[in-house]
Chains A and B, each alone.
Chain A
Amino acid sequence: MIETSIARHRILIVGGSGGVGKTSVSAALGLAAARAGHRTLVLTVDPARRLAAALGLDGIGPEAEDVTPRLNSGGSAVSGELHAMMLDVRSTLNRAVERHAPNAERREQILNNRLYQNIAGRLSGSQEYAAMQQLEEIASRQDYDRIILDTPPTTQAIDFLTAPERLQAFFDSNLIRIFLTFSGRAGRGFFRVTDVLFRTLERLTGAQVIRDITEFFEVAESILEPFSAQSARARQLLRDRQTAFLIVTGANPHQLEEACGFSAALDEMGIKVGNVVVNRWLPPLQDKAPVVPDALASEQLAARVEYWQAALERLARVQTRAIDALEAQGVPGLVRLPEMPGAIHSLEGLAALCDRLCAGHDDESAK
C-alpha cells in the first residue's frame, strides 16, 4: 500500500525508465503525503508544462514553491503542506563548489574553468549527481517531514544509481594525484607509459584542453574531500531506514521485466523498494465488441470497431498476464494504475491520480 510507504519513510525516491509517468506519479505521491498531514516537498526535474502549470510551477526557478494554498482553494484541501521544487543542475553544482572551496580564489578558478563549465550539466551523470546532492542538502535541513524525489529521465532505470558513481570516479582523488604527478614536466620521461598516454591525449585533443584539465585537477583537489564526503552521505541516505524507492513502470512485458531487474538490483545494493507502480495498464473487459447501430454502420465501420475492440482486449490480457506474473514473483507493494483519459493538466486530474494511487486498484474492478 502506498499509504504505508508514506507513513514509514521520510524520503521516497521515484525511479523508472523514461516515458512511464514518473513525474505525474511523484506529484500524486506528494499530494497523498500532504493529505496525510505531512509537510511535503516534491523535488522534480523538467516536468511537462501542463503538469508544472497544475502545480503552480510555471516559469519558476529552483526555489521551493508552496502549492498548499492552490490546493486548498481548488477544492482539494490537505491537512499537511505540499511544496514543489525544480532541480537546477548547474546551480546545484555551483553551490557545492561555493560551499566547499577553501577560499574565494579557488572558488573562482573552478567556476571559470572551461572543463568544469563543460562538466557541470553536460557530463553524463551530472544531473543524477546533482539530484542526489540536492536531496542530501534538503534532508539534512529537516525542513520537511516528507521528501519525494522524482529522478531525472534516463533511458534505463538503473542509470540513476550508476551515474553518480561514474561521476564520482572522475573526482576520485587517487586518479587526480596520478594525473598531477605526470602532467608536471618534471615527472615526464621518455619511456614511461604515462608519458605516452599523456602525449596521446594531447594529439587527440589539442594542448589547450590539456591545460584546462591540468588546471582543473590542480584546483579541484582542494575541494575533493568535502565533495566526496557529501557524496558518501548521499549514498548512505539511499540505504537509510527512512528511505524507500518507488519504481514506476509501464505495463508492457519488457517494461515489467526491466522494472523487476531494477528492483532486484536495488535489493542487492541494500536499498529498500517500497512499491512497484504499474502505470498505463489497460484493464481487460471480457466484453464483446459493441453492436454498431444500422443507422450509423457501414460494413467497414462495423468491421473496424470489432477489429480494434479485439486488439485492445488482446493487449489488455497480455499486460494483465505479465503483471500477474510479476506479482507472483513477489515484487513489493505492487500497485496497478489503469490508463487515464488524457494527460494531467489540472489539480483535479492530479487529485484523481492520487486517489487511484492510494486505492491501489486491484483486479476486482477489472472483473
Chain B
Amino acid sequence: MSSPLLQTELGAVFDRRFLFVTGKGGVGKSLISAALAVRAARRGERTLWVEMSESPRGGHFFPGFEPRYELAPVQDQLWGMNLRVQPAIEEYLAVAFKIPFLTRLIARNTLFQVLTGALPGLDSLIPLGKIWYELGRRRGRSPYWDRIVLDAPATGHALAMLRFPQAALDIVKSGNVADRAREIDAILGDRALTGLIAVTTLDELPVDETRDLLSHVHDETDYRFEAIVCNEVLPNIGQDESSRYRDWLGGEPDTELDSLVAGDDASRRRLSWLEDRRCSQQARANHLSASQVPMFRAPWIPLTDEAELLDAMIDEFART
C-alpha cells in the first residue's frame, strides 16, 4: 500500500522493554507478537515471549517448542511461556503469603478454583502480577529480561486487564490487591517502559472492534495505545501505475463468482478481485486513522504453514 497512512518502518514504541500486544481473535495477534519477540532476540536481546491461551500456538510457530507455564528456551536469546491463571495463582500464593506447605492444597481445591475463576479481576491481577515480577527480576546489575512481549488475550479480556488497576483501587485502598494494582498501574502507565500495541486486519469487524478498544482505553484509563499493526495488508501491484493498472484490470471489479474461477481470463479477474479488496482495505485504513494512533503495515503473506509464515514476517520486520 503506498498510503502514507501505514508506516512500513516499525517505530520507537516497538523498542520498549514491555510490549502488550492485543487484537480481535483471528487477526494474527500471536503471529505479530512472536515476530516482534524474534526480532528482539535476533538483535541479541534476552527476550521472553508470553502467551496467555488455553490452546497456545507456540508449538506451531516454533516446531519443537512446547508452551507451558514454566519458562523454556525457544531459540537463541528467546524464551517462551504460556501464562495460565491457575498455575500463576499457585505461584502467587507461595510468594505473597509464604505458605508453600499449604499452597498446593489450597490452590488445587476445586472450590477455590471455582471461586477464583468467578472473582472479578483476579484473571487480570494474576497474569499482570507475573509480568511485573519478571520485569523486576535482576541478573547482577542489569535486568534479567531485555524484552518481554506479551501476546495478551483478545480485545474483551485485554480491556478488562487494562481497566483492572483503577477498578481495583476504587474498591480497595490497602492490602495485597491494592499493592499489586499500584505496581501494575506503574508499569502500564510508564511510557518509557511499556508499549501498548493493537493488531488488526483491515476488515470490517476487526477495525470496528479496534476503534472500540482504543476509545474505551483512552476514555477510561490513563494508558495510551501507541501503535496499531495492520496485518494482512494486500500488495499494491500497480504501485506508481495504479490507475493504469486498474484500467487494464477492467475498471469495475467483477462480482460474479463464476467469472472469477473459470473462463479464459480468470487470472486477470482474480488480480482484479485482489485490487478491489486492496481498495476496501485502504478505505478502512482511512476509517481507522481517525483514532490518531500511528499505524504500521504488516503485509499479507500468501503462506499457510505457521512456521513459514512467522519466518516470512520476521524477514519483513528485519527489512525495516
A: residues with CB less than 8 A from B are: 17-20, 48-50, 115, 118-119, 122-124, 153-156, 159, 166, 169-170, 172, 175, 178-179, 193, 196-197, 200-201, 203-206, 208-209, 213, 252-254, 283, 285, 287-290, 292-293, 296, 298, 300-301, 304-305, 308-309, 311-312, 314-315, 318-319, 322, 338-343, 352, 356, 365-366
Lowest 9 CB-CB distances: which A-B pairs, in order?
A19-B26, A18-B25, A290-B268, A118-B120, A315-B302, A155-B25, A18-B26, A311-B302, A252-B304
Write the B255-267 contact mask toward A (1 if CB under 8 angstroms, else 0).
1011011100111
Output the nearest chain A residue to B54 by Cβ-Cβ distance: A156
A123 to B280 alpha-carbon distance, docked (Å): 36
Interchain CB contact under 8 A, B271 and A19: no
Query: Which chain A positions have C-beta within 8 A of B175?
Result: 203, 206
Contact of B122 among A179, A205, A309, A339 (CB under 8 A): A205
A208 to B265 alpha-carbon distance, docked (Å): 70
Query: Which chain A positions have C-beta within 8 A of B24?
Result: 18-19
Interface of A is mostly: helix
Output the nearest chain A residue to B172 by Cβ-Cβ distance: A206
* Least distance between B269 CB and chain A CB atoms (Å): 9
B294, CB-defined interface residue at 8 Å: no
Q: A49-B208, A314-B302, A315-B304 are in contact. Are A341 and B177 (CB under 8 A)?
A: no
Interchain CB contact under 8 A, B112 and A365: no
13 contacts between A and B (CB under 8 A): A18-B26, A48-B204, A170-B117, A197-B109, A201-B115, A213-B119, A292-B248, A296-B245, A301-B245, A315-B304, A322-B304, A338-B260, A342-B276
Instruction: Give the residues from 128 to 165 in chain B that come closer than 8 angstroms, CB to CB, to chain A.
Output: 154, 157, 160
* Least distance between B51 CB and chain A CB atoms (Å): 12
B273, CB-defined interface residue at 8 Å: yes
Given contacts A48-B205, A254-B60, A305-B237, 15 further A-B contacts (CB under 8 A): A49-B208, A156-B55, A170-B117, A170-B118, A178-B111, A193-B106, A204-B96, A205-B119, A205-B122, A285-B266, A287-B266, A305-B271, A308-B237, A315-B302, A341-B277
Output the nearest chain B residue to A182 by Cβ-Cβ distance: B111
Query: Which chain A positions have C-beta within 8 A of B105?
Result: 193
Query: Which chain B positions have C-beta within 8 A of A292?
Result: 248
A154 to B153 alpha-carbon distance, docked (Å): 12
* Least distance between B252 CB and chain A CB atoms (Å): 11
* Least distance between A339 CB and chain B CB atoms (Å): 7
Interface of B is mostly: helix
Query: Which chain A positions have C-beta within 8 A of B54?
Result: 156, 159
Query: Which chain A positions have C-beta within 8 A of B273?
Result: 339, 341
Interchain CB contact under 8 A, A341 and B253: yes
Interchain CB contact under 8 A, B235 and A308: yes
Contact of A204 among B110, B176, B248 (CB under 8 A): B176
Interchain CB contact under 8 A, B27 and A203: no
Interchain CB contact under 8 A, B237 and A301: yes
* Least distance between A25 CB and chain B CB atoms (Å): 14
Output the nearest chain A residue to B174 by Cβ-Cβ distance: A206
Query: Which chain B positions have C-beta within 8 A of A169?
Result: 114
A312 to B111 alpha-carbon distance, docked (Å): 53
Output the nearest chain B residue to A169 by Cβ-Cβ distance: B114
Most chain A CB neighbours (cut-off 10 Å) among B260, B303, B306: B260
Q: A301-B239, A319-B304, A356-B257 are in contact. Are A203 and B97 (CB under 8 A)?
A: yes
Query: Which chain B positions have C-beta within 8 A of A285?
Result: 261, 266-267, 270
B241, CB-defined interface residue at 8 Å: yes
In which size bucket is the chain B interface? 35 or more
Interchain CB contact under 8 A, A366 and B261: yes
Write the B294-320 contact mask toward A (1 if CB under 8 angstroms, else 0).
000000001111100000000000000
Interchain CB contact under 8 A, B267 and A290: yes
B254, CB-defined interface residue at 8 Å: yes
* Least distance between A316 CB and chain B CB atoms (Å): 9
A309 to B272 alpha-carbon distance, docked (Å): 11
Contact of A340 among B204, B237, B257 (CB under 8 A): B257
A206 to B171 alpha-carbon distance, docked (Å): 9
B93, CB-defined interface residue at 8 Å: yes
B244, CB-defined interface residue at 8 Å: yes
B53, CB-defined interface residue at 8 Å: yes
Query: Which chain B positions have C-beta within 8 A of A124?
Result: 157
Write the B88-100 contact mask toward A (1 if CB under 8 angstroms, else 0).
0000010011000
B102, CB-defined interface residue at 8 Å: yes
* Least distance between B63 CB and chain A CB atoms (Å): 13
Output the nearest chain A residue to B264 by Cβ-Cβ distance: A287
Write the B228-247 contact mask toward A (1 if CB under 8 angstroms, else 0).
00000001011101001100
A50 to B27 alpha-carbon distance, docked (Å): 19
Interchain CB contact under 8 A, A201 and B118: no
* Least distance between B311 CB and chain A CB atoms (Å): 16
Query: Which chain A positions have C-beta within 8 A of B154?
Result: 18, 155
A20 to B60 alpha-carbon distance, docked (Å): 20
Interchain CB contact under 8 A, A155 and B26: yes
B183, CB-defined interface residue at 8 Å: no
Instruction: Give the residues from 196 to 252 in chain B that come closer than 8 angstroms, CB to CB, to chain A.
Output: 203-206, 208, 235, 237-239, 241, 244-245, 248
A222 to B168 alpha-carbon distance, docked (Å): 30
Interchain CB contact under 8 A, B106 and A338: no
Q: A206-B172, A296-B244, A338-B261 are in contact. Are A288 and B267 (CB under 8 A)?
A: yes
Interchain CB contact under 8 A, A253 and B305: yes
* Least distance between A11 CB and chain B CB atoms (Å): 25
* Least distance between A81 CB and chain B CB atoms (Å): 28
* Least distance between A364 CB and chain B CB atoms (Å): 9
Query: Which chain A positions have C-beta within 8 A of B60?
Result: 254
B10, CB-defined interface residue at 8 Å: no
B293, CB-defined interface residue at 8 Å: no
A296 to B241 alpha-carbon distance, docked (Å): 8
Contact of A341 among B110, B118, B260 (CB under 8 A): B260
Interchain CB contact under 8 A, A308 and B109: no
